[in-house]
Amino acid sequence: VWEIPGGRRLRMLDVAGRHGVAARWFALHPRGHRLAAVYGDGTINIWSPADGILRLQIPGRPSGQIFFSPDGARLYANGYEAI
């Protein structure tokens, strides 16, 4: 996580190390307080960029990109049956 402007790194999230599988896709919540990551095993993790805490883990089978709705109320995942 970097500060804009200036480019100073504020935090480094160890999203791969904590999960043990490489993250393939990321989506940032419109308000910036959550970061969703899709992993090679189909799991979606939702992190708090401010403190690096894993807030939610969703098992599944997404096959591609993920994104939050414009209002941030929903997370959409390509190939996922239901979230």
* pLDDT, position 16: 64
62/9: higher pLDDT: 9
Contact 61, 37 (CB under 8 A): no
Q: What angle do CA 54, 26, 56 make, to 5 degrees?
A: 25
Distance CA 29, CA 12 (A): 18
Model pLDDT for residues 7-45, shown as the tens digit of each residue: 888 877 766 655 567 788 899 999 989 999 888 778 888
Nearest alpha carbon to residue 23 among 69, 67, 65: 65
